Amino acid sequence: MAAGLFYLGVIVFGIIAQITRMGLIEPEDATATFENIIASGGMLEIAFASDILSQTCFILLGLTCYLIFRKVNNLGAVVMLLFVVIAGIYAFVNMHHILDAFQLVSGADPLMADEVLAHLNMHEEGTNLANIIGWGPWLIPLGYLGFKSNFFPKKIGIILMLGGIGLTLQGLQYFLSPSMGDLLTPLIVLSMVAEFTTCGWFLYRGMKGFDGAVEKERRADPSDANTMM
């Protein structure tokens, strides 16, 4: 159940943060962005807090998935966890751009508008970098572990691997070939479908209790009974 709840936290808080933040930003208009933040009554802070909660849930999700899948393939589970830790730590570091933007806005000096927008844009670039170094790649070993296990739907495992590849490629495209525009959007949609489906499955199985190979592992090693979920 913990995996499903952590995944739900990643998704819900992540969506809140992204929608709230992007609702304030006018990509080509620093003055309008500055004024939106001033008039929003603390919405940038809400986005920042939601980001922290989302990334905290993400790291806890990675740890929980490691416990779930380590007996399927320990090396694969370690690789998956490594991507989670790298992406999670980098995401926390990347948040300093939001803090810097907030501090500049707090001075209520319109002359700082260009710098505020620059920090918000750098945060967005950091988000795409996180897709490359962790948020995309971690889905690949997760999908592989699910596919190889006896208790996770193989179709979801395949979708996770494809979604992870797609999210990674989208991050690369952002830096290497921005002129491609939204060409890779279907791959982003695929990664979202993969993650939403996985979250739903974790919640469903958490309420009913894992069976199959996981139950056998629990009976074989009672000490894992409280860690597999």
Q: Is residue 107 part of a domain?
A: yes
| Contact predicate 48/38, CB 8 Å | no
Task: Kindly report the pTM of this predicted structure.
Answer: 0.85
Instruction: Report the distance separating Cα 65 and Cα 23, nearest Å.
Output: 33
**Predicted pLDDT at 41:** 81
Q: Which residues constitute the domain of residue 112?
A: 2-222
Write out pLDDT tens, residues 40-93: 888 999 999 999 999 999 999 999 999 999 999 999 999 999 999 999 999 999
**Predicted pLDDT at 49:** 95
**Predicted pLDDT at 208:** 75
Write out pLDDT tens, residues 33-54: 999 998 988 899 999 999 999 9
Domains held by the chain: number: 1
**Predicted pLDDT at 168:** 92
Write out pLDDT tens, residues 93-102: 999 999 888 8
Instruction: Report the distance separating Cα 8 and Cα 156, nearest Å.
Output: 17
Q: Is residue 227 part of a domain?
A: no
**Predicted pLDDT at 20:** 94
Q: Is residue 37 part of a domain?
A: yes
Provide the residue type at 187 as one letter.
L
Q: Is residue 229 part of a domain?
A: no
User: Average pLDDT for residues 122-129, to the nearest whole number?
Assistant: 91
